[in-house]
Structure 1
Amino acid sequence: MRTFFSMLPWRLLHFLIYCSCCFIILPLFPGLMSVDAFTGTYGINYGRIADNIPQPERVVTLLRSSKIKNVRIYDADDSVLKAFKGTGLELIVGLPNGFVKDISTNQSHAMDWLKENVQPYLPDTHIRGIAIGNEVLGGNDQELEGALFGAIKNMYSALKKLQLENLIEVSTSHSQAVFNSSYPPSSGTFKESALVYLKPILDFFSKTGAPFCVNVYPFLAYDSDPDHIDINYALFEPNAGVYDEKTDLHYDNMFDAQVDAAYAALEAAGFNNMEVIVTETGWASAGGNDEKGASPENARTYNFNLRKRLFKRKGTPLRPKLVTKAYIFALFNEDLKPGQNSERHYGLFNANGSVSDDIGFSGLKSSPAPASTLSLKDIHRQGWSTSYSFTLIACITILVTLLA
């Protein structure tokens, strides 16, 4: 008796077998798929310069109950990486500034660092990116600035040798110190002293597809000039806004203006198509007597309005079709951070996991959330759906061609 499959044209039968194999094999080899380092639009920085914050397992419970999927840490702490295992949370780990010079001059050390701090935790811990240093450019350490590009290249080369370059993105975050001008947004340019080191990095990232990562703090801008900056403009509250004559664009909040200043600076440097991702932004709930605007009310207003703005999944006035993504700073108040008093008061949550800024999160519950098992829904959340959809479209296209 002839079966259904025996009646199919041989080319079509081979094609169906091939498609079936693709859908089975692709999840087993994540290096074959390009996975975005950022899911959705909202993430958070999990800083740990404190002696009173919850253990990582409790932090995972907090993040999952708050439905925060994207997380950045500033190192590759073993206890954190183990706690994130099997959770589905997307993690960016940091190579601290103190390692940058060594990694820059020793490619083998980059490989050693990956084999110790990244590879053993894959694939169960979803490490999606490595941030090389933090706010290196625009400072006073020219030797460190000169080492940044070498560290980026060596880390990427080591990832490539491990066939992880399509799974883990290499990036670095910049402060506002790299900009020569940012007001109005269209005047955004890089300082020549920073561009010397930044240009080869941008060239490299344009080839690897990495974004330009920048830390954006309207709080610091307002604090530096409270007499001339409308606090409502900084807090996403109703205000007259700012008009940029060069682009004929209107800005009703400083966050968008600072992001567009970064886009303008990239464009001026010849990188029109590079995405900007905000890797830190937040507002201090307390500060010293000379820190204007630091208050629980302002922190709550900024973080609530920012979250609402990001969840709209829209772009900026200059890049309206490119959805804005941002990591909030920070998860907890960090009582051991040096510097001004405000540095220790950016947390959305208190040390015990209770809500510090009430912007819609519930805080820690008494019992930990159960670890999820892998399902089709998990596959979608982990970013595999894009690759599956692409494969499905390709399969349908070829099928139509064969049957034509």
Structure 2
Amino acid sequence: MRILRFLLLVFSLGLNAVMATAFTGTYGINYGRIADNIPSPDKVVRLLKAAKIKNVRIYDADHSVLNAFKGTGLELVIGLPNGYVKEMSANADHALTWVKDNVKAFLPETHIVGIAVGNEVLGGSDYDLAVALLDAVKNIYNATKKLGIDDRVQISTAHSQGVFTNSYPPSACIFKEGVAQLMKPLLEFFSQIGSPFCLNAYPFLAYTYNSDKIDINYALFQPTEGIYDEKTDLHYDNLLDAQIDAAYAALEDAGFKKMEVIITETGWASHGDQSEPAATPSNARTYHYNLRKRLAKRKGTPMRPKSVLKAYIFALFNENSKGGAGSEKYYGLFKADGSISYDIGFPGLKSSYASSSRVSFQDLGAGKWFGSHSLVLAISAPILVLLFGL
């Protein structure tokens, strides 16, 4: 009888672990909306289905998006913006209300699989915000537990590379002294609830600020000598793998060797300021095309070869209302009108409209993954469309 109870407990825990995983497959995308000219959420759903992209992240919990995703089968990670973190940290009742109104109310029709609490909080300039992060994470998690959805909604937070120091070679990477004291208790909690370490990693930015030291082919997954890490006796033929293994090294140094690293943002801008000469359509296409091939291989990094790499691309659209460097407006795989920014095998929304006589959008809504344009391509050139079916 005791053995039976033990087996049932193990089976139950195994199911919960599977159900609470926010990322299935290897390829996802960030659906940013800091723009006044991008397609409506229902059209975005059609675009995502035509492109066969199932894993999607948004940076808030906008109800028009959550409603548009109802019944689509797309898996959505929503965001608790940084502006809410202090409030959720200080008031567990507010956290419960937020989860009830923005998550529980939409389940199970909208497949919300994760909540990202804040974005790039640690390592930033707001110390009070950084201090508040852990309690905000705990209160949001406890809210999901109280509402009975903790077994299907994973809690996370994404970090910039600003949390690290000494990241070259990868094995030398550790967390910054000012970050480590806040990072360790956060990692301890995530370890307890089975959440990964989420990293925003941009070879584009690393190259832009260190073009005199980094071979652009190394940043773009192109043939290159790469680098050799003497401490681990590992060779790296691309910069993204090195950035990920730097995170693994920092986690191991902090005592969290078993924690998985997931890339929550990575991309390459197609245009930029004069100080960003690598931001070209050609380079962006090369990076994203090669990254899709890299993810399709379902392999790990040199340091963690058995841990299949998962990455959310940044971003779905060019966003014309973003501030900062000129490149910030041009990370999209698609232009604001839904046409492709450059060709890496995805069908554009405008192309689908133009060929709508072949396959109706009603068909797409019924769960058929191919849009009309992609169906035409599939007939004429199946390898182009189906090579990366992730």
Shift of 1:227: 1.1
Between the two proteins, the alignment pairs up a number of residues equal to 348
- The equivalent position to 1:280 in structure 2, one of 241, 245, 265, is 265
Distance 2:247 2:162 in 1: 12
Q: Which amino acid aligns with 2:175?
A: F
- State whether structure 2 residue 79 is matched by structure 1 residue 85: no
Q: Which 5+ residue runs of structure 1 have no aligned equivalent?
A: 1-14, 20-25, 375-404
- The equivalent position to 1:111 in structure 2, one of 85, 96, 116, is 96
Q: Which amino acid aligns with 1:84?
A: F
For the 8 Å contact 2:46–2:365, the answer to whether it is kept is no
Per the alignment, residue 381 of structure 1 pairs with none
Runs (4 or more) in structure 1 with deviation over 6 Å come to 30-33
Secondary structure of 1:370's counterpart equals helix
For the 8 Å contact 1:31–1:164, the answer to whether it is kept is no
Identity %, equivalent residues: 64
Per the alignment, residue 374 of structure 2 pairs with none
Per the alignment, residue 300 of structure 2 pairs with 315
C-alpha offsets along residues 180-222 of structure 1, whole Å, 9 cap, x if unaligned?
A: 1211111111001011111111000110000000000000000
C-alpha offsets along residues 133-161 of structure 1, whole Å, 9 cap, x if unaligned?
A: 00001111000000000100000001000
When the two chains are superposed, the root-mean-square deviation of aligned CA atoms in Å is: 1.7
- State whether structure 2 residue 332 is matched by structure 1 residue 360: no
- State whether structure 2 residue 285 is matched by structure 1 residue 291: no
Distance 2:303 2:177 in 1: 24
For the 8 Å contact 1:159–1:165, the answer to whether it is kept is yes
- State whether structure 2 residue 175 is matched by structure 1 residue 212: no
- State whether structure 2 residue 314 is matched by structure 1 residue 329: yes
- State whether structure 2 residue 157 is matched by structure 1 residue 157: no
- The equivalent position to 1:125 in structure 2, one of 97, 110, 115, is 110
- The equivalent position to 1:226 in structure 2, one of 196, 201, 211, is 211
Distance 1:180 1:228 in 2: 17
- State whether structure 2 residue 206 is matched by structure 1 residue 241: no
Distance 1:32 1:253 in 2: 32
Per the alignment, residue 43 of structure 1 pairs with 28
Distance 1:358 1:296 in 2: 10
Secondary structure of 2:364's counterpart equals coil
The 3 A distance-change label for structure 1 pair 32 and 240 is closer
For the 8 Å contact 1:86–1:372, the answer to whether it is kept is no
Distance 1:119 1:372 in 2: 24
Per the alignment, residue 176 of structure 1 pairs with 161
Per the alignment, residue 344 of structure 1 pairs with 329
Q: Which amino acid aligns with 1:220?
A: L
For the 8 Å contact 2:104–2:149, the answer to whether it is kept is no
Per the alignment, residue 55 of structure 2 pairs with 70
Shift of 1:84: 0.3
- The equivalent position to 1:370 in structure 2, one of 361, 364, 378, is 364
For the 8 Å contact 2:251–2:259, the answer to whether it is kept is yes
Normalised to the residue count of structure 2, the TM-score between the two structures is 0.87
The structure having more radius of gyration, on CA atoms, is 1
Distance 2:244 2:130 in 1: 23
Normalised to the residue count of structure 1, the TM-score between the two structures is 0.84
Shift of 1:116: 1.1
C-alpha offsets along residues 339-387 of structure 1, whole Å, 9 cap, x if unaligned?
A: 010000000001111110211101111253532369xxxxxxxxxxxxx
Per the alignment, residue 10 of structure 1 pairs with none
